[in-house]
Chain A
């Protein structure tokens, strides 16, 4: 897992694990929260 491996280079194993878990918990919460906001118009071109 890229995020965990990245953090593991700078933090002890347990800290890296918890920071990874908190980070992804935060990301998922933000995604769920903002998914209900009005959506942008993704009309890059006529695909």
Chain B
């Protein structure tokens, strides 16, 4: 799904106008109605699935408090729906040929439902009633491609709701930057120009071609994904809501740990809160927690061997980085500012290449192909 379409241009224009024109007490109807209409138009089956998940979340999280058993049942049921669809839909390049498509936005929707149930269980959220819960889950700017925003922030904005012209300026600015990233930088500059440069490389430059493809994939992915997040955040701003940021210059980070705090922030912070803390509480091992979290993030993208490997690749890198931090303290301190700057630049280059290599590898269908692209990059000629 892409925001770069006339359908989304019309939605982003019409929904805020109707929203602010409606009397305040009916505005939540506009939010819910807009999402339901978009889902019904794009894929009615997705609407049915998301409504069923909403009913399940509401049924198992209502009342004064939510017991551990109810929270566990709700989390298991929501996770089972997500995993079931992911397996049934086969995955890109998977061996299973299937007509079942994963419902639109389900990957994000399920995590929002689990967040709500677990926060209710921990007692951090009072029962807000069905209307606020549905408004949160059916929030049109974020339902399809995230960010996975949190209920307390949404609820606060819903309470303080009033028109401010600054929303329009901030929202439109963000949307224009998002469209610029997707249409011009990603689809035109990176995909078209870089791809044609790569194709023009000779047969004796296969290594350079693989490297160029790797850089193209890494840069394109960031521009596409952060562009879509910009549009979602801008769209939410037009409606007077502040949605959490999803990216914070991830390709300028000096190590893999920092990278994962700056890439897809709404997912990584969710995983830290609900996967990492759980695993560490059970095992008392931060290293196992990091690996389990990154593997879970990998499998959230797609349930396949290659995403499992991709998750473990990053998880092990974070563990290695943490171990290296311990060793670094034993070594001599770098006093020269120039040398420290140089090391920082080298760290950024190394980190970004490690991340890009991961993106290249996860696009291969088997372990053999992953090995083959690495061999080709180093021995195929430049």
Residue numbers of A with Cβ under 8 A of B are 1-3, 24, 27-28, 30-31, 34-35, 37-40, 42-47
CA distance A43 to B4 in the complex (A): 14
Given contacts A44-B221, A44-B224, A45-B301, contact A39 B176 (CB under 8 A): no
CA distance A31 to B4 in the complex (A): 10
**Min CB gap B141→A, angstroms:** 16
Indicate if B293 sits at the interface (CB-CB under 8 A): no
A-B contact pairs, 10 of them (CB 8 A): A1-B170, A3-B173, A31-B176, A34-B184, A35-B183, A38-B187, A39-B187, A40-B186, A45-B307, A47-B107
Pair B92/A34 contact, Cβ less than 8 Å: no
| B-chain residues with CB within 8 Å of residue A38 when the two chains form the complex | 187, 191-192
Within residues 104 to 154 of chain B, which ones have a CB less than 8 A from any CB in chain A? 105-107, 145
Pair A44/B187 contact, Cβ less than 8 Å: no
Pair B184/A31 contact, Cβ less than 8 Å: yes
Indicate if B239 sits at the interface (CB-CB under 8 A): no
Pair B180/A31 contact, Cβ less than 8 Å: yes
**Min CB gap A24→B, angstroms:** 6
- Give which listed residue, B145, B180, B186, B192, contacts A27 with CB less than 8 A: B180
**Min CB gap B225→A, angstroms:** 7
| A-chain residues with CB within 8 Å of residue B187 when the two chains form the complex | 34, 37-40
- Measured CB to CB, the nearest residue on chain B to A36 is B183
Residue numbers of B with Cβ under 8 A of A are 1-2, 4, 86, 89-92, 102, 105-107, 145, 166, 169-170, 173, 176-177, 179-180, 183-184, 186-188, 190-192, 220-221, 224-225, 301-302, 307
- Give which listed residue, B102, B176, B221, contacts A24 with CB less than 8 A: B176
Pair B301/A27 contact, Cβ less than 8 Å: no
- Measured CB to CB, the nearest residue on chain A to B192 is A37
Pair A30/B102 contact, Cβ less than 8 Å: no
6 additional A-B pairs beyond A34-B184, A46-B91, A47-B107, beta carbons within 8 Å, are A1-B166, A1-B169, A24-B176, A40-B224, A46-B92, A47-B106
Q: Is the interface of A mostly helix, strand, loop or mixed?
A: loop
- Give which listed residue, A3, A24, A42, A45, contacts B302 with CB less than 8 A: A45
- Give which listed residue, A1, A24, A43, contacts B92 with CB less than 8 A: A43
**Min CB gap A45→B, angstroms:** 4
**Min CB gap B342→A, angstroms:** 29
Given contacts A45-B302, A46-B86, contact A2 B170 (CB under 8 A): yes
- Measured CB to CB, the nearest residue on chain A to B223 is A40
Pair A30/B184 contact, Cβ less than 8 Å: yes
Pair B301/A1 contact, Cβ less than 8 Å: no
CA distance A1 to B172 in the complex (A): 9
Closest 4 CB pairs of A and B: A40-B191, A45-B301, A34-B188, A1-B169
| B-chain residues with CB within 8 Å of residue A24 when the two chains form the complex | 173, 176
CA distance A33 to B186 in the complex (A): 14
Given contacts A39-B2, A46-B86, contact A30 B169 (CB under 8 A): no
| B-chain residues with CB within 8 Å of residue A1 when the two chains form the complex | 166, 169-170, 173
| A-chain residues with CB within 8 Å of residue B192 when the two chains form the complex | 37-38
Pair A46/B173 contact, Cβ less than 8 Å: no
| A-chain residues with CB within 8 Å of residue B145 when the two chains form the complex | 47
CA distance A1 to B191 in the complex (A): 30
| B-chain residues with CB within 8 Å of residue A3 when the two chains form the complex | 173
Pair A27/B302 contact, Cβ less than 8 Å: no
CA distance A39 to B2 in the complex (A): 10
Pair B180/A46 contact, Cβ less than 8 Å: no
| A-chain residues with CB within 8 Å of residue B2 when the two chains form the complex | 39, 42
The residue in B90, B179, B190 that gathers the most chain A C-beta atoms within 10 A of its C-beta is: B179
